[in-house]
C-alpha cells in the first residue's frame, strides 16, 4: 500500500487571540523532550520551524495505516501544544490569524533573504497549510500523479477551507489563505508536464531566472518533494479537525493510485488536460465558498452544488478506496464535513453566536485538540 505523510502548520497564540512570537523557545523545549518520546515509542509529532516566529509545523512519519496516521496527527498536535504551553502560548489549527498581526521572520539567512527579495508578500506571509506527501516509485511516476491531480485539487481546497478572516475582517472567502498564498510567483496550478524531464527542465528555468532562491521555492499546487520520494500536495488549508487532515491524505493517495493504475480509472475530466485557466477559476470558486456554494465539476467544468462536485471526486477514486479499505471511512468523513462545515463555517458560526476574541480562540484550540 502506498504510504502517506501529513505536515501541518499551526499558529502560536495567546488566550486573547493575539499572536505569540515564541517558536524558537517552543522548538527548544520540543527538542529537549524528543528523546523521551522516542524512548516511549510514541509515534509522530516532529516539531519544526516555519517561516515566522508565530508558527510551528508538525509532520507524521510515512504511514499506510489510516488509524495510525490519525493517531500521529493528533499526537503531533498535542506535543506541539505542550511545547507551546511551556512558553505561554497555545497551538491552534487556523489557516489565517483572525485578528492579524505583524509576523516576525525567523532568524534564518534564507528566510531573511526571502523577506528582503519579496517585500510585502513575504512580510504578510502568516498562513498555515496542510501538506500531504504520497509515495511514488520515481520522478516519472510522480509527474504522472501531478498531471492527474490537476482538475481535482480545487475540491481538496474546498474540503479544507479554514481561513475566512484576515486582519480582523471577514473576507467573504472560505479560504483566504489560498488567495494570500497565490501571490507567490510559482504558486498555483500547473500545465501538464508529461515527463519528469519536462518538470525538471521547468524548475531549472525558474531557478535560473533569478526570481526564486532555490527549488524549495517552487510552490506548485502539487510538486515533486525536494526532500523525499513523494509527490507533495500543498493545496489544503490546515484543517481545524484532525480527521479532516487524514481525509485529505486518503483522497490524495487514492488519486495517486488511480493515476498509476489504469484498472482503477472510472471517470476523467471531459478534456484530457483541462486548461490551467479553468483550474485557476475552479480554485478561486473553491476558495470563495468552500463547501457552502457551487464548485466547478472536474468532469464538465460547469458549476454544480459543492456536494455534487465532491461526490464526483469520491466516485472517481472509489476503486482505489475500496482496494485500501478506506471507502466507508472517507464517505462518512465527507458527510461529516458537509454536515458540520469546514473550519471556515465553524469560525463564522462562533462569531455569529457572539464569541469575543477570547471565546473564539478557546473554541478554536478545543477543536484543534479534540
Rounded to whole angstroms, the Cα distance separating 273 from 250 reads 24
Neighbours of 297 (CB within 10 A): 21
Mean pLDDT calculated for residue range 146-172: 97
CA angle 340, 345, 347 (to 5 degrees): 115
% of residues, the chain, pLDDT over 70: 95
Q: If you search the block for the grid coordinates 463564522, which residue do you land on?
A: 348
Tell me the pLDDT tens digit for each residue of 309-337.
999 999 999 999 999 999 999 999 999 99
Rounded to whole angstroms, the Cα distance separating 87 from 103 reads 18
Task: Identify whether the C-beta of residue 162 lies closer than 8 Å to the C-beta of residue 237.
Answer: yes
Query: DSSP 3-state assignment of 34?
Result: helix
Q: Given this model, what pLDDT does residue 15 score?
A: 87
Minimal CA–CA distance to 242: which of 42, 4, 67, 54? 67
* Domains of the chain, earliest start first: 4-368 (3.30.590.20)
Q: Given this model, what pLDDT does residue 266 score?
A: 65
Mean pLDDT of the chain: 93
Task: Identify whether the C-beta of residue 184 lies closer than 8 Å to the C-beta of residue 219.
Answer: yes
Task: Identify whether the C-beta of residue 152 lies closer than 8 Å to the C-beta of residue 313.
Answer: yes
Rounded to whole angstroms, the Cα distance separating 266 from 317 reads 8
% of residues, the chain, pLDDT over 90: 86
Model confidence at 269, pLDDT cuts 50, 70, 90, reads low
Rounded to whole angstroms, the Cα distance separating 105 from 122 reads 9
Task: Identify whether the C-beta of residue 9 lies closer than 8 Å to the C-beta of residue 234.
Answer: no
Tell me the pLDDT tens digit for each residue of 91-145.
999 999 998 888 898 888 999 999 999 999 999 999 999 999 999 999 999 999 9
Per-residue pLDDT at 43 exceeds 50: no
Mean pLDDT calculated for residue range 157-185: 97
Per-residue pLDDT at 14 exceeds 90: yes
Number of residues assigned to the chain: 370
Q: Given this model, what pLDDT does residue 283 score?
A: 98
Amino acid at each position: 500500500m502506498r504510504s502517506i505523510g501529513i505536515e501541518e502548520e499551526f499558529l502560536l497564540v495567546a488566550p486573547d487571540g493575539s499572536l505569540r512570537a515564541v517558536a524558537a523557545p517552543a522548538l527548544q523545549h520540543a527538542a529537549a523532550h524528543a528523546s523521551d518520546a522516542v524512548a516511549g515509542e510514541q509515534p509522530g509529532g516532529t516539531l519544526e520551524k516555519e517561516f515566522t516566529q508565530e508558527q510551528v509545523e508538525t509532520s507524521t512519519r510515512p504511514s499506510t495505516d489510516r488509524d495510525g496516521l490519525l493517531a500521529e496527527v493528533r499526537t503531533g498536535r498535542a506535543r506541539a501544544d505542550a511545547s507551546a504551553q511551556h512558553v505561554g502560548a497555545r497551538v491552534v489549527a487556523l489557516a489565517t490569524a483572525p485578528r492579524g498581526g505583524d509576523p516576525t521572520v525567523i532568524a534564518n539567512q534564507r528566510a531573511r533573504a526571502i523577506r528582503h527579495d519579496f517585500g510585502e508578500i513575504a512580510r504578510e506571509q502568516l498562513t498555515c497549510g496542510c501538506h500531504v506527501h504520497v509515495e511514488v516509485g520515481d520522478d516519472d511516476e510522480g509527474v504522472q500523479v501531478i498531471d492527474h491531480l490537476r482538475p481535482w485539487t480545487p475540491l481538496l481546497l474546498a474540503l479544507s477551507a479554514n481561513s475566512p478572516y484576515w486582519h480582523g475582517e471577514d473576507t467573504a472567502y472560505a479560504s483566504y489563505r489560498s488567495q494570500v498564498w497565490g501571490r507567490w510567483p510559482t504558486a498555483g496550478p500547473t500545465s501538464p508536464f508529461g515527463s519528469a524531464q519536462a518538470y525538471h527542465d521547468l524548475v531549472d528555468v525558474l531557478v535560473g531566472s533569478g526570481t526564486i532562491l532555490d527549488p524549495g521555492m517552487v510552490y506548485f499546487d502539487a510538486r515533486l518533494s525536494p526532500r523525499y520520494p513523494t509527490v507533495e500536495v500543498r493545496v489544503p488549508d490546515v484543517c481545524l479537525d484532525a480527521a479532516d487532515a487524514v481525509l485529505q491524505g486518503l483522497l490524495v493517495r487514492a488519486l495517486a493510485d488511480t493515476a498509476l493504475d489504469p484498472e482503477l480509472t472510472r471517470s476523467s475530466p471531459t478534456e484530457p488536460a483541462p486548461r490551467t485557466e479553468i483550474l485557476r477559476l475552479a480554485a478561486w470558486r473553491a476558495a470563495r465558498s468552500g463547501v457552502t456554494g457551487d464548485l466547478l465539476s472536474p468532469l464538465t467544468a460547469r458549476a454544480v452544488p459543492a456536494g455534487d462536485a465532491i461526490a464526483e471526486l469520491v466516485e472517481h477514486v472509489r476503486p482505489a478506496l475500496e482496494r485500501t479499505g478506506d471507502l466507508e471511512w472517507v464517505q462518512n468523513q465527507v458527510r461529516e464535513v458537509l454536515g458540520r462545515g469546514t473550519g471556515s463555517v465553524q469560525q463564522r458560526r462562533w462569531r455569529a453566536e457572539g464569541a469575543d476574541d477570547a471565546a473564539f480562540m478557546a473554541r478554536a484550540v478545543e477543536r484543534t485538540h479534540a
